[in-house]
Amino acid sequence: MMTFKYSNSVPKSNENATADILKAASDPKVISFAGGLPAAELFPVEQMKAASDKVFDLYGQEVLQYASTLGYLGLRKEIVKMMKERAVETSVDNIAVTTGSQQAIDLVARMLINPGDVVITEDPTYLAAIDVFKSYGAEMVGVPMDEDGIKTDALAETVKKYPEAKFIYTIPNFQNPTGRTMAIERRKELIKIANEADLPVLEDDPYGAIRYAGEFLPSLKHFDTEGRVIYLSSFSKILAPGMRLGWIVASQDFMAKFALLEQNADLHADNLAQYVVAQFLQDVDVTEHIKKITDVYEHRATLMLQEIDKQFPKNVHHSIPQGEIFIWVEVPGVDTKQLFDECIKHDVAFVPGSAFFTNEEQPGTFRMNFSNMNDEQIVEGVKRMGAAIKAVQN
């Protein structure tokens, strides 16, 4: 049988610790706080069906034909409006629709990283971004965070140490995995540091629209006067992730190159999904839909935090998210791999912190998700985790 000789882009091992965790967590009797899935019961199925019917009636042949790489103009116009609500003035010429924001992360990485280049990220950060950056040969340099997001004094030092770094990757709102939000002063400071060092900033904002506490904060792109911020977002968390649709907003110079790479990657994002989402955005009150999601997630976050305070030992720290779907927990002195195994025995799961760190792992940390579990599961799951923590601490 053929033994393939793979390129340097292919991981030597097929092992995937996260996949193993998600697999263990997918056992139906396990209460899983491990994934990052939106609440499926909030998906606007009937409205999507109505939008889809309308699209087939209005644009039947057009929607099934090859289309422009940068995306359906009707959808890009809707994105311009959404960006305005996010305090970013832009135009359809600065926007491309992508096959999820994951594709945008992959293509931007490919556009900027040569093997050996440094990429600066928050530490911890989104693990599928780490995987992508590493697949292009990046050396990852993490910058520590606190409750106000990335520590900009540490970032300034890191940038000084790595003047040839290729870009700063950041998730300012309700960060994955920590749930933390970058404070407004930190945002301004980050842009100042990037300007002084002439570094691009890759701002990943899939979560920002679902905020249930604190005030709206303008994105980094809002403060960008030099076209250095590449802004990414997604319909996955406000509408539906199964329709793989994200978008990128960047300078027109950058977008001209991006289009060449997107064309090579898959010609364009699925046209049916693009038309259906555009039609949905035209016909449905999205603000109301987002409010519905926000209310449910606020309720679940509040409940989970309350149960953590009740069921976990007193020395446990946790983040208090202002939006979206993650809580970051630290149980001092606990080995989270051992805790994970103990939790699986108790039929409950989370993601150990180790997956998210680019530098040294902060021991005893892990990520909990509450968006896809009902009240009963949250109460029972946190209780089981509390019991598991006590078991490994003894």
How far is it, in rounded angstroms, from Cα 329 to Cα 16? 23
DSSP code for 98: E
Q: What are phi and psi of 85, to 5 degrees?
A: -65, -25
Nearer to its own copies, 279 or 311 (CB): 279
Between 53 and 309, name the residue whose CB sits nearer to its own copies: 53
CA distances from 100 to 179, 193, 238, 245 (A): 21, 29, 13, 4
Nearest residue to 315 (alpha-carbon basis) of 331, 329, 328: 331
CB of 101 to its own copies, least distance (A): 9
Q: How far apart are CA 178 and CA 334, in angstroms?
A: 18
Phi and psi angles of residue 337, each rounded to the nearest 5 degrees, phi first: -65, -45
How far from the centroid of its chain's Cα atoms is residue 265's Cα? Answer: 21
Q: Please, which residue, 275 or 312, has the CB nearer to its own copies?
A: 275
Report in angstroms how near the CB of residue 116 gets to its own copies at its nearest: 11
- Minimum distance from residue 26 beta carbon to its own copies (Å): 11
For its own copies, the closer of residues 286 and 382 by Cβ is: 286
Paired tokens of 215: 């005030």
CA-based torsion, 274, 278, 280, 281: positive or negative:
positive
Pick the closest to residue 183 from 215, 149, 212 (CA basis): 149
Residue closer to its own copies by CB (options 261, 391) is 261
Residue 69 or 173: the one with the smaller Cβ distance to its own copies is 69
In the Cβ-directed half-sphere of 178, how many Cα atoms lie within 13 Å? 24
φ and ψ at residue 351, rounded to 5 degrees:
-115, 120
- Least distance between its own copies and beta carbon 219 (Å): 17
Bridge partners, residue 140, by sequence: 119
Least CB distance to its own copies at residue 382 (A): 24
Shortest Å distance, C-beta 224 to its own copies: 9
Name beta bridge partners: 118: 139
**What is the smallest separation between the CB atom of 295 and its own copies, expressed in angstroms?**
19
> Where do we find the tokens 């409950």?
348
The CB-of-89 to its own copies minimum distance in angstroms stands at: 16
| Residue among 65 and 394 whose Cβ is closer to its own copies | 65
Q: Which residues pair with 272 in a beta bridge?
A: none
Q: How far apart are CA 35 and CA 37, in angstroms?
A: 6
Report the residue number, 257 or 317, with the smaller CB distance to its own copies: 257
The pair phi, psi for residue 314, each rounded to 5°, is: -65, -25
Closer residue to its own copies, CB minimum distance, 64 or 213: 64
- Residue 276 C-beta-side C-alpha neighbours within 13 Å: 23
Min dist CB 176 to its own copies, Å, is 14
